Structure 1
Amino acid sequence: MPSRPLLAMAVCLMLHILPLCVSAQGLAPALSPDDEAPELVPMPTGAQTKFVPLLFGLNVTDLDPLEGFFKWLATNSSTDACRVIRNSYLRVCNVPEVLGKLCDDFLAAYQTRCEHETQLFSCISLVSVMSVLVACFLTGNLLEVWHWTWLPHSGVSILIGFFAGAALKASVSAKGLEDFQFDESIFFLVFLPYIVFEAGLTIDKGMLWRHLGPIGAFAIVGTFISIFGIGYSLSWAGDVLGYNLPLVECLLFGSLISSIDPIATLSLFQHFGVDRDLYILVLGESILNDGVSVVMYDTFLQLLDVPFNGLDTLADSLQRFAVVFFGSILVGLLFGLTSALLFKYGQLQGNPTMETILFIVVAAFPYYACEHLQWSGIVAILVESVVMDLYTYQSLSTEAQLNTKFTIKCVAHLLEQCIFAYLGMQVCLAAENLDWNPAMIVAAIGSCLVCRGWVFPVAWLVNRTRPAGEEVPPRNQVMVWFSGLRGAVSFALAMKIPRYDELLKKGSEHVSEILAMTTAVVMYKVFIHGGLTAVVLRRLNIPTGCDQAPYTHPPLEETGPLLRLHRLLLPVFTKDQRSSRAVEYWSLPNRSIDVGEDGTF
């Protein structure tokens, strides 16, 4: 009989490795019912039976119980397979002298079939991404030079990404395409934070304060109307068309598709010099709207696996929204004011490079803190960006001030183009796996257009509270309605929906349908509405060529308690020699800094 240690090792080996060898599917990524099974070479059955000698006391000195397994591995070396091999080696080879041959095979297989291939495809993917980005920037610049306003820059990036995806699909194997799949976690944890931060940091604070009422009404009240309007109308359309989409999933779609991304429109606004009042309305709504829609998305996502009890469930959802929204605001305030104290007392002004690096790194803290708490990182980093511009930015040296905003703007612009290029690539790579239902797609686009009509009644209510001359004119209302484009945030949220797991009985059974509707709405909005922006501006006779100088707010005594509070906080959170001038400059994020002989501005 074999010794107990050897028998224990054999049993351990079976428990950890045998389930992987029973079927080649054991090494494949988890698949949903809608996914196409990967092309794997079946593992020889002999590898499944070579464990038997371990249990009957035979000589195991030169035994290689997974010889057939490694032959199978030679033709299947996906990322998931390599991960399994690495983990299995760490588990069963703690005593390599007992199973030396087997452990040597593990190492050799991993080094030759996994490490090199991973590096190879990483290099290929990086070169491909950089080439696509170069093409996006060069083509977009040419369109601006040629004044081709019918194709927005974001649309250019989507098209280039689509053709890049088609080229990859034709030249790279199915396993190689895994390196190019859209990863929504990277989007939300790497790309989105600094895009939102840049928008909040550079927005004209004077104009933001002046139009805070309409912006808040559009972004909060309007988004709620849009979410529930789209959700219920799509549920009704599904019933009429005989396509029963659950109400919770319709509301989930309503929340993700209500996130607007008017990059194409805003770039044309800047190109034509559109009225600043209209520009700030569209920009301000889009920034704050993302936070509201993502919070409601997370709320409905939790309702996928629980019974939906109508008004009671909606009341609980709204209560959670209030906690998450206002809690995230407090987190953003806390981190923003803490960063102001750090830069005030940190003795960093002798090193502009260090100031810029710390400013950029500290900016992301509240986003990740709120994501860990399952709150809204978007709301937190937006609030923090405003606070950091008002206080932390004032404590930077003049050189660091210039470097910081320029660097953040470049990073945000680069990330935006990456997102749209990847969006186009995924439309090509994943289109055949989606459930394209023309009737439901038309219903989704129609519900988005109709429910966006909340702009007009909400603007009417806002105008009744605004002083004369400060109302939102009808032509601006039409442009705000038309500018409700959708983009990568909506697509990433749709990708984030978990597919139904038959074992756990959790997830959505209609992810493919939701992804198809989301893709169709995004493409329609970017190319049709984005491409017609210049035409609509002319038809509405909206003034262009306006002065783009930042708005200068009235004297502090005429602007209410909020700015008085700001004046009190400036000496506390900024360096003393800058506080008096910072009061005058706080609303001018794009200002040119006039440096005096004493080093102050």
Structure 2
Amino acid sequence: MRTESVVLLMFLIASGVAIAARRLNIPYTVALVPVGLLLGALHLFNAPALTREMLFLIFLPGLVFEAAFHIHFENLWRDRLAVLALAIPGVLLAIALTAALLVFAGALTSYLPHVGWALALLFGAAIAATDPISVVALFRELGAPARLTLLVEGESLLNDGTSIVFFSLILAVLMGQVPSGGALVVDFAREVGGGVVVGLAIGLAASQVVRYVDAAMVEVMLMTVAAYGSFLAADQLGVSGVISTVAAGLVCGNYGARRGMSPTTYIAVRTFWDYLGFALNSLIFLFMGFAIHLRTLLEIWPIIVVAYLAVTLARGLVIFGISGVLAMTRARIPRAWTLVLTWGGLRGALSMVLVLSLPDTLPLRNLIVNMVFGVVLVSILVQGLTMTPLTRRLGVVSGHGALRDYELARARRHLADEVLAEISGLQHGRLLEPEALDAVKAEYEQRASEAGAQMTQAELDREHLLRQETVGVRRRLLLFERQRLREARDRDLVGEEAYNQLLADVDARLLACDNGHVSEPAS
């Protein structure tokens, strides 16, 4: 089959999987991988090979930009300490711990060949990046706390870039380029810092143009140019393309969208990126299934199990360690969340593509490749399919189906009441025939009555609902308080020192709300 026919067929398959996954109540992206495995084993058609060029030029810029575009910078900045700790020192610690556990396991068991520290570090760097696509989609469906979703998504956005940088540096050392420790630090700072500068420049440029354009299709095109242009420009300059695209996405999604787009245009742009994210995710997870050869992995399953345990244990140690350090700050992470963050560290296509880029002359290359593929597959299937019961068991989410039905009914009643109020105004205006208005009024009164009955019949944990509603109201009022405080500062009604102190207090209470706490944080 021709490539375009294969891609079209894969979109059709992905649509079918999405429908089936929704009915079976399993994560859609997790379901795509076994389907890809099955199709690859049956050899019904040949999918394009998942290559570094394909991932870096087609998939990664779009997926990274889409995720960054939807993140509110204020929320990310407020949780910057936790996100940066997980994404930079957390990645470095995970690489070192994974390598140490792998070397230790190799010394104790005959299942795992002695790969040595250098190759163990390379494996750790290749597998360090987490892929939150399945987990974040699941969190949004289950109604997990917004801050937990932000931590998972924010960590992944940044650790993609740091893991690529560390992987490149470790590979360079293995290939005989032995820079000093100071040179490694400089190279890392140059790649990350350069990526930030390039992304900010392109994101700001696109956002400035958007302010003077009022055409949805043109603005969609400008955002696409910013996404892929920031990645390509950074790559050409020898700095991190992922970090560059993250920076461009944050600027365009916050400054560009809020300052330069009308509500109608913003909806069009957001809808486009929602679809593009769905399409790219569909293809990449199917490609992953095709790329994995199950028979080869089964031949070395003991090695894969040892590697998977090492990766998971290393992440757990890092998450709990960082959580312990952050417990002494305002960015503390609830204990139940540490388990969710540990188990939510799925690995994905980036790890597979990084390891495929290893040179053929590298010792034990095939073993490292199959270990990474095996760990990716196990993490997606085991962790992806057990996230829902884990989050419910820990009390992170509960009763979301009933809550969703209740919220839908409440929204329908609210909309019906709004329309009835508008009809009342039209009746007072005496510009329309009363009989026409009465007919429409009866229809919306019926809708409001049905929605009210659905709200009454919903089987809800009322105490949980009240707690969630209280948190939501408190958060909305805190955001209002924050806005008024900023306006007071801008009008010179509050001094800078007092502003900073009051802002820190509001942010602390916002963090408490995002953690799901109703009570005020201890001072």
Q: Aligning the two structures, in what range does the TM-score lie when normalised by the shorter sequence? A: 0.7 to 0.9
Q: Quote the offset at 1:205 in angstroms.
A: 2.9
Matched position secondary structure for 2:131: coil
In structure 2, the partner of 1:440 is 303
In structure 1, the partner of 2:219 is 355
Given that 2:90 and 2:318 are in contact with CA atoms closer than 8 Å, whether structure 1 keeps it comes out as yes
Q: Specify whether residues 180 and 167 from structure 1 end up closer, same or farther in structure 2 by C-alpha distance, changes over 3 A only.
A: farther
Separation in 1 of the partners of 2:88 and 2:148? 18
| Structure 1 counterpart of 2:34, from 159, 166, 178 | 159
Structure 2 counterparts to residues 189-208 of structure 1, below 5 A: 189-208=57-76
In structure 2, the partner of 1:478 is 339
Separation in 2 of the partners of 1:163 and 1:543? 33
Q: Specify whether residues 352 and 265 from structure 1 end up closer, same or farther in structure 2 by C-alpha distance, changes over 3 A only.
A: closer
Separation in 2 of the partners of 1:482 and 1:435? 23
In structure 2, the partner of 1:409 is 274
Separation in 2 of the partners of 1:510 and 1:357? 45
Q: Quote the offset at 1:241 in angstroms.
A: 4.3
| Structure 2 counterpart of 1:145, from 23, 43, 53 | 23
Separation in 1 of the partners of 2:217 and 2:339? 45
In structure 2, the partner of 1:334 is 201
Separation in 2 of the partners of 1:239 and 1:496? 28
Given that 1:133 and 1:421 are in contact with CA atoms closer than 8 Å, whether structure 2 keeps it comes out as no
Residue 493 of structure 1 pairs with residue 354 of structure 2: yes
Separation in 1 of the partners of 2:190 and 2:229? 20
Separation in 1 of the partners of 2:303 and 2:486? 49
Structure 2 counterparts to residues 399-548 of structure 1, below 5 A: 399-428=264-293, 436-452=299-315, 453-466=317-330, 471-500=332-361, 508-544=362-398, 545=400
Q: Specify whether residues 237 and 266 from structure 1 end up closer, same or farther in structure 2 by C-alpha distance, changes over 3 A only.
A: same
Separation in 1 of the partners of 2:238 and 2:264? 37
Code of the aligned partner of 1:392: G
Q: Specify whether residues 451 and 557 from structure 1 end up closer, same or farther in structure 2 by C-alpha distance, changes over 3 A only.
A: farther
**Which segments of 5 or more consecutive residues in structure 2 lack a partner in the other structure?**
401-467, 491-509, 511-523
In structure 2, the partner of 1:77 is none
Q: Quote the offset at 1:253 in angstroms.
A: 1.2
Q: Quote the offset at 1:392 in angstroms.
A: 2.1
In structure 2, the partner of 1:324 is 191
| Structure 2 counterpart of 1:238, from 106, 119, 130 | 106
Q: Quote the offset at 1:200 in angstroms.
A: 0.3
Given that 2:216 and 2:269 are in contact with CA atoms closer than 8 Å, whether structure 1 keeps it comes out as no
Separation in 2 of the partners of 1:145 and 1:296? 41
Separation in 2 of the partners of 1:559 and 1:241? 61
Which whole-Å deviations, capped at 9, do the CAs of 1:380-422 have from their partners, x for residues lacking one? Answer: 1101111112222221344322211110121111111101100
Residue 555 of structure 1 pairs with residue 482 of structure 2: yes
Q: Quote the offset at 1:558 in angstroms.
A: 5.6
Residue 296 of structure 1 pairs with residue 150 of structure 2: no
Q: Quote the offset at 1:458 in angstroms.
A: 0.7
Code of the aligned partner of 2:226: V
Residue 375 of structure 1 pairs with residue 218 of structure 2: no
Structure in which a larger fraction of residues adopt helix: 2
Given that 1:282 and 1:480 are in contact with CA atoms closer than 8 Å, whether structure 2 keeps it comes out as yes
Code of the aligned partner of 1:401: Y
Residue 268 of structure 1 pairs with residue 138 of structure 2: yes
Q: Quote the offset at 1:164 in angstroms.
A: 1.8
Q: Quote the offset at 1:142 in angstroms.
A: 2.6
**Which segments of 5 or more consecutive residues in structure 1 lack a partner in the other structure?**
1-120, 501-507, 565-586, 588-601
Given that 2:210 and 2:222 are in contact with CA atoms closer than 8 Å, whether structure 1 keeps it comes out as no
Residue 185 of structure 1 pairs with residue 53 of structure 2: yes
| Structure 1 counterpart of 2:147, from 260, 274, 277 | 277
Separation in 2 of the partners of 1:315 and 1:252? 20
Which whole-Å deviations, capped at 9, do the CAs of 1:431-455 have from their partners, x for residues lacking one? Answer: 5667953443222112111111211
Separation in 1 of the partners of 2:116 and 2:360? 14
| Structure 1 counterpart of 2:260, from 395, 399, 410 | 395
Percentage of matched positions with identical amino acids: 24
Larger Rg: 1
In structure 2, the partner of 1:343 is 210
Q: Quote the offset at 1:156 in angstroms.
A: 1.4
Separation in 2 of the partners of 1:434 and 1:480? 27
Q: Quote the offset at 1:315 in angstroms.
A: 4.6
> How high is the TM-score relative to the length of structure 2?
0.73
Matched position secondary structure for 2:292: helix
Which whole-Å deviations, capped at 9, do the CAs of 1:481-521 have from their partners, x for residues lacking one? Answer: 11111111111111111211xxxxxxx12221111111111
Code of the aligned partner of 2:207: A
Given that 1:295 and 1:376 are in contact with CA atoms closer than 8 Å, whether structure 2 keeps it comes out as yes
Structure 2 counterparts to residues 202-217 of structure 1, below 5 A: 202-217=70-85
Q: Specify whether residues 439 and 145 from structure 1 end up closer, same or farther in structure 2 by C-alpha distance, changes over 3 A only.
A: closer
Given that 1:295 and 1:375 are in contact with CA atoms closer than 8 Å, whether structure 2 keeps it comes out as no
Code of the aligned partner of 1:448: V
Q: Quote the offset at 1:167 in angstroms.
A: 2.8
Q: Quote the offset at 1:127 in angstroms.
A: 2.1
Q: Specify whether residues 445 and 186 from structure 1 end up closer, same or farther in structure 2 by C-alpha distance, changes over 3 A only.
A: same
Matched position secondary structure for 2:206: helix
Q: Specify whether residues 269 and 435 from structure 1 end up closer, same or farther in structure 2 by C-alpha distance, changes over 3 A only.
A: closer
Matched position secondary structure for 1:324: helix
Which whole-Å deviations, capped at 9, do the CAs of 1:553-589 have from their partners, x for residues lacking one? Answer: 45258689xx98xxxxxxxxxxxxxxxxxxxxxx9xx
Given that 2:72 and 2:254 are in contact with CA atoms closer than 8 Å, whether structure 1 keeps it comes out as no
Separation in 2 of the partners of 1:324 and 1:386? 18
Code of the aligned partner of 1:262: P
Which whole-Å deviations, capped at 9, do the CAs of 1:234-272 have from their partners, x for residues lacking one? Answer: 233334446232422221211110100122222221111
Separation in 1 of the partners of 2:92 and 2:484? 35
In structure 1, the partner of 2:93 is 225
